[in-house]
Amino acid sequence: MSFLVGVDLGGTKIAAVCTTVDGKVLSSVKIPTLAAEGKEAVIERIILSVKEVISEANVTDILGIGIGAPGPVDTEKGLIIAPPNLPGWDEVGLRDIIKEYFGVNTYFDNDANVAAIGERWFGAGRGYDDFIYITVSTGIGAGIYLGGKLYRGHTDSAGEIGHMILDIDGPVCNCGNRGCFEALASGTALAKRAYEAVQEGKQTSLSKLQEISAADVFSAANKGDILARQLIERETTYVGLGIANIITIYNPERVILGGGVSQAGEVFFEPVKEVVKKSVFASRARNTEIVAAELGSNAGALGAAALVLEERMDRIG
């Protein structure tokens, strides 16, 4: 029997798992990235996390190691290309470093693609050839499956839907443009809007909090806070419009929603579905299924493990 190792490298934490080929987690570890200590120290911690999950699972036959990293990435060369939350990582050949260290086939992709691959093999994408995975979290990103294959685009840049521009007069985005989907509708954007409303002196229970997160806004809305409800309505309208645009372009079988904001549940999903139904162009696509991602807190690392299967199948197929 062979086993998979998946590593999710994030700006704040490194998560690793060792799994069976059908996605059963045998061991897992989460450690802080401590990105400020520099890339050599972070790479050492990645190696340590891989060693740990392998030894804890007590297995030897590793089919491959998958790594998900913040984009942009070059999947062909296995490079991380200067992500904003990993300072000093300019074109780092992480894939080959890990491959050489462990002497095992190692595969590499950006975190949104890896999460989509995880859903395809082990979650809500099983049995679906055409689906879009969308994460709404601190940022917004997507992984696109067309005809049973992940679509990466000509230069690995497909699925950067967080930077679709939805409002030319909208707020400035981290990328420098104005009115990007994620500047309007990410969890960070929602929290920021709530903070601004409090600063403007608007009446809301949120004004009692030291810091406001997206989850705080959802919870205040659930308790009847009027300002929080208005913020959620705006949030779900933009998320719905973004998803409607994606459905209009790709006509998928289903859309899978993951990331922190999606964990708010029905209070998020119901209004998003309403907006999608009203806004998708083709009538036959208006009822595209919108479902929650199935892989929970280990989604990134599990997806990275699934990347091994996806890439190996690619070679055989």
Of the candidate spans 112-120, 143-151, 175-183, 283-291, the one that interacts with Zn ion by CB under 5 A turns out to be 175-183
Question: Minimum Å distance from CB 108 to Zn ion?
Answer: 24
With 0-12 / 13-18 / 19 or more C-beta atoms within 10 angstroms meaning exposed / middle / buried, residue 256 is buried
Question: Minimum Å distance from CB 175 to Zn ion?
Answer: 3
Which of residues 11 and 38 has its CB atom nearest to Zn ion in the complex? 11
Question: Minimum Å distance from CB 161 to Zn ion?
Answer: 10
Which of residues 63 and 175 has its CB atom nearest to Zn ion in the complex? 175
Count, residues near Zn ion per rule CB under 5 A:
5
Question: Minimum Å distance from CB 163 to Zn ion?
Answer: 4
CB of 4 closer than 8 Å to CB of 308: yes
Which of residues 47 and 164 has its CB atom nearest to Zn ion in the complex? 164
H, E, C per residue of the chain = CCEEEEEEECCCEEEEEEEECCCCEEEEEEEECCHHHCHHHHHHHHHHHHHHHHHHHCCCCEEEEEEEECCCEECCCCEEECCCCCCCCEEECHHHHHHHHHCCCEEEEEHHHHHHHHHHHHCCCCCCCCEEEEEECCCEEEEEEECCEEECCCCCCCCCHHHCECCCCCCECCCCCECEHHHHHCHHHHHHHHHHHHHCCCCCHHHHCCCCCHHHHHHHHHCCCHHHHHHHHHHHHHHHHHHHHHHHHHCCCEEEEECHHHHHCHHHHHHHHHHHHHHCCCHHHCCCEEEECCCCCCHHHHHHHHHHHHHHHHHHC
User: Considering only residues 16, 173, 194, 206, which one is a binding residue for Zn ion as defined by CB under 5 A?
Assistant: 173
Q: Would you count residue 164 as binding Zn ion (CB under 5 A)?
A: no
Question: Minimum Å distance from CB 185 to Zn ion?
Answer: 12
Which of residues 25 and 175 has its CB atom nearest to Zn ion in the complex? 175
Other Cβ atoms within 10 Å of 295 Cβ, number: 22
Of the candidate spans 45-53, 63-71, 171-179, 280-288, the one that interacts with Zn ion by CB under 5 A turns out to be 171-179
Of the candidate spans 105-113, 134-142, 176-184, 272-280, the one that interacts with Zn ion by CB under 5 A turns out to be 176-184
Q: Would you count residue 243 as binding Zn ion (CB under 5 A)?
A: no
User: Considering only residues 57, 79, 132, 180, which one is a binding residue for Zn ion as defined by CB under 5 A?
Assistant: 180
Question: Minimum Å distance from CB 14 to Zn ion?
Answer: 26
- Considering only CA atoms, which of 250, 260, 8, 246 is closest in space to residue 114? 8
Question: Minimum Å distance from CB 246 to Zn ion?
Answer: 16
Of the candidate spans 78-86, 146-154, 169-177, 184-192, the one that interacts with Zn ion by CB under 5 A turns out to be 169-177
Question: Minimum Å distance from CB 166 to Zn ion?
Answer: 10
Terminal alpha carbon distance of the chain: 21
Q: Would you count residue 163 as binding Zn ion (CB under 5 A)?
A: yes
Of the candidate spans 34-42, 108-116, 157-165, 229-237, the one that interacts with Zn ion by CB under 5 A turns out to be 157-165
Q: Would you count residue 165 as binding Zn ion (CB under 5 A)?
A: no
Q: Would you count residue 175 as binding Zn ion (CB under 5 A)?
A: yes
Binding site for Zn ion (CB under 5 A): 163, 173, 175, 177, 180
